[in-house]
Amino acid sequence: MSRPRSQAEYLARLVPPSVAGLNRRSLLAGAAGTGALLGTGLLAGCGDSDSGSGSDSKTVSVGSNQSDPKPKDVIAKVMAGFQTASGIQPAVNTVDHNTFQENINNYLQGKPDDVFMWFAGYRMRFFAAKGLAGDVSDVWGKLSGYSDAFKKASTGDDGKQYFVPASYYPWAVFYRKSVWQQRGYQVPKTLDELNTLGAQMKKDGLAPIAFADKDGWPAMGTFDILNLRINGYQFHVDLMAGKEAWTSDKVKKVFDTWAGLLPLHQPDALGRTWQEAAQSLQQKKSGMYLLGLFVAQQFSNDEQNDLDFFTFPEIDPAIGAKALDAPIDGYMMARKPKSEANAKKLLEYVGSKDAANIVVKNDPSTLVANTGADTSGYTALQKKAAELVGSATEIAQFLDRDTRPDFASTVIIPALQQFIKNPKDIGGLLTSIENQKKSIFTD
């Protein structure tokens, strides 16, 4: 993997390895197989004691997964800002992004840093429910500039907050303005309009919807948005939490709708990477592409202004089109930080307008979560993306952040690929998913 040079590349790095691909090290770990299993697994059970709460200490440690030069530099500047504001000395331990994620189980059970970076969603709630993260509800009492959607995304199963959001990127349908102007296409507001538009694009010799699922995760975005539009946010959350049956008519309707849209999608998606699909949009061979904001990575600097997007159209008027996937990255607190007071001061600072301003000023490649920040430095695309998320009633975190990682990667990815390969046998597929779900969601 190369170092990110643009906004989109940076955003792409935020994609979790369960979706974005493992690094070489984890590959080797995989080859080592059982050895790695024993080594990491059994040791994890041991490092359980963490004592000493020096309340008057003047330091706080931070576990950072921002290992690439640019974001690392931004974090350093934010931490410097914190030190100036509070007089507390932050010590940042940076770990390679993928490695951090791979080891999160062991990290949290060992001696984690007082504050660590993580993602919102089920992944956050999972560790909170296991007692591996600290309650930061009182920090939220002092935060301002966050919409309800962000607060909801930071709340654990018990109603307490365990997460402070820092940055995010929305998923939407992207297109090239020049192509649409030339052909006179209009942004579709309903599923019917989308279908009509797609048919027109096909007539004009375009692949209506660029599509790729070789890596297994992009199709999750399609499933998510259809599910959000057809069944709403709460159903999405419950389905992902294993509370709803995959064999229900509601899920079946999602797949039926998808099967109806598949002819508009670029064919042979299972052999294509998202980059190749994005390039077909860039080369004006496709009309639109449902993806995260990081799609801009495949566009040159002077093409950036030609890129625009709209949120996926409404399917059920009773549900509307106000919910969307916008994965949020941010900070959490260890369950027993060495100094809880200092950790909370730090969380309050990173959630503040001041910290967000430092990020905006130094890193033009990310959307900050705090709406109080001065975002005059945003590009047009960034501004529009921020508006879209700001007007969202609910923010989902993307399928594999909203459910158990083992379920997402070992069951859903093969299942969605099976569906794309053969959209006819939806009933059998859903039964298989449900059976496997029951074997995974056991506690």
Partner 1 sequence: MSDLPLIQADRAVPPPAATTSTGGRGRRLRLLSRTDRVVITLMVLVPLLLVVGLVWLPAVATVLLSGTDWDGIGPVGEIDWVGLQNYDNVVNNYPPFGPAVQNNLLWLAALFVVATPFGMFLAVLLDKEIRGSRFYQTALYLPVVLSLALIGFVWQLIYSRDQGLLNAVLGTQTDWYGDSNVNIWAVLFAAGWRHVGYIMLLYLAGLKGVDPSLREAAAVDGSSETSTFFRVVFPVMRPINIIVLVVTVIESLRAFDLVWVINKGRNGLELLSALVTSNVVGEASRIGFGSALATIMLVVSLVFITLYLFTVMREDRR
Interacting residues toward partner 1 by CB under 8 A = 16-18, 21-22, 24, 26-27, 29-31, 33-38, 40-42, 44-46, 48, 101-102, 104-106, 109, 123, 130, 132, 214-216, 268-272, 276, 279-280, 404-406, 408-410, 413-415, 417-418, 421, 432, 435-436, 439-440, 442
For partner 1, give the closer residue by CB, 279 or 393: 279
Q: How far is the CB of 331 from partner 1 (least distance, A)?
A: 18
For partner 1, give the closer residue by CB, 53 or 435: 435
For partner 1, give the closer residue by CB, 231 or 286: 286
Q: How far is the CB of 26 from partner 1 (least distance, A)?
A: 6
For partner 1, give the closer residue by CB, 57 or 432: 432
Q: How far is the CB of 302 from partner 1 (least distance, A)?
A: 22
**Side-chain half-sphere exposure of 332, counting CA atoms within 13 A:** 33
Q: How far is the CB of 127 from partner 1 (least distance, A)?
A: 9
What gap in Å lies between CA 166 and CA 163, rounded to an integer?
10
Q: How far is the CB of 305 from partner 1 (least distance, A)?
A: 25
Q: How far is the CB of 93 from partner 1 (least distance, A)?
A: 19
For partner 1, give the closer residue by CB, 2 or 55: 2
Q: How far is the CB of 268 from partner 1 (least distance, A)?
A: 4
For partner 1, give the closer residue by CB, 31 or 318: 31
For partner 1, give the closer residue by CB, 89 or 109: 109
